[in-house]
Chains A and B, each alone.
Chain A
Amino acid sequence: MATLSSVLLCLYPRAWRRRYGSEMQALLAKGNLSLRTVADVVAGAIDARFNPQSTAINQPPVSKGERTMTNAFRCSPAAVSRSDQWRSASWLVGGSIVMTVIAIGLQVRLGRNSFSEALLYGAIPAALMLSSECTYLKPYSQRARIVMSVGGAAVIILMMWGAVAVANLI
């Protein structure tokens, strides 16, 4: 029976087997492998090939002690994969650098002005807001993620601009 269940699991894509294979095998070992169960597993394998649930199957099987950001600190929601965490870090570092370079460029070209100063001060917090698009905001729809991350970053820069403008007046 163990052989038959292993053969059946081979019908699933490799990424799927890596994620759910051992769990499914444990479940198959518990029950009797009837014709109905075999048909269900085959139908499931066809579905997994045509509709791979990429977010879930790209995550490695979770085990105790695994040092991911999600498990170690509980600071990001479920379904945040390692690639999401790398993407988020890239947004943070890349966004900060790009905004800083733009701010310096504006200061060189236009001289000292409140907007470029605000962009310089707000680069890291705004980039942090952009980086949340693929971590904290992941459960939301794509449109909501864009509005919240880009809108949030824009609000941070505008608030900084206002604060710098007021400070320059005083």
Chain B
Amino acid sequence: MRITRGVAKRRDDSRDELDDFGRFSEPALLILISLADGPKHGYAMTEDIGSIADVQLGPGTLYGAIARLESRGLIEPIGSEDRRNPYRMTGLGEKALRLRLTTLEAVARAGRRRLSSAGA
């Protein structure tokens, strides 16, 4: 119960950032994770996400999530001379990613604890 309350509080803190993304919530999280180690353009993001999460994001889903992240200032484009425009994560994006990962870690810990207590 204590953990659940903690998770709920953290969810309140990050609600403005990723919670209103609807079906783009998971792709947006994966994009932020992909950009955490440096700027990437769309194709590099889909390749990276495919390798780390085994998820193949389609172009419509990828750019739907990119537009949402960009409009909220979580990522920003970097000028490029070719048409593949790279993006990088902003400070706000890093904060949102950290909050979301903390929430996911707390949920995973609670799940594992309950599984182990159910098995005992």
Binding site for B on A (CB under 8 A): 16, 19-20, 22-28, 30, 36-37, 39-45, 47-48, 53-57, 61-66, 71, 77-79, 138-139, 141
Contact with A along B23-43 (1 / 0, CB 8 A): 000000000000000000111
A56 touches B58 (CB 8 A): no
Of A16, A24, A48, which is in contact with the most chain B CB atoms at under 10 Å from its CB?
A: A24
A64: which B residues are within 8 A, CB to CB? 79-81
B61 touches A44 (CB 8 A): yes
A63 touches B80 (CB 8 A): yes
Binding site for A on B (CB under 8 A): 16, 41-43, 46, 58-64, 66-68, 70-73, 75-85, 90, 92
Main secondary structure on A side of the interface with B? helix
Q: Tell whether A78 pairs with B81 under 8 Å between CB atoms, given A44-B63, A141-B16.
A: no
B67: which A residues are within 8 A, CB to CB? 16, 19-20, 48, 53, 56-57
Q: Tell whether A61 pairs with B85 under 8 Å between CB atoms, given A56-B71, A79-B72.
A: yes
A53: which B residues are within 8 A, CB to CB? 67-68, 70-71
B61 touches A40 (CB 8 A): yes
User: Closest A-chain residue to B69, C-beta based?
Assistant: A56
User: Closest B-chain residue to A138, C-beta based?
Assistant: B73
A56 touches B60 (CB 8 A): no
B76 touches A79 (CB 8 A): yes
Which of these, B59, B66, B79, B85, contacts A28 with CB under 8 Å? Answer: B59
Q: Tell whether A48 pairs with B43 under 8 Å between CB atoms, given A22-B83, A41-B59, A62-B79.
A: no
23 A–B pairs (Cβ distance < 8 Å), ordered by A: A23-B63, A26-B41, A28-B59, A30-B43, A37-B59, A40-B58, A40-B59, A44-B58, A44-B64, A45-B60, A47-B60, A47-B64, A48-B67, A53-B71, A56-B67, A57-B67, A61-B85, A62-B79, A62-B80, A78-B70, A79-B70, A79-B76, A141-B16
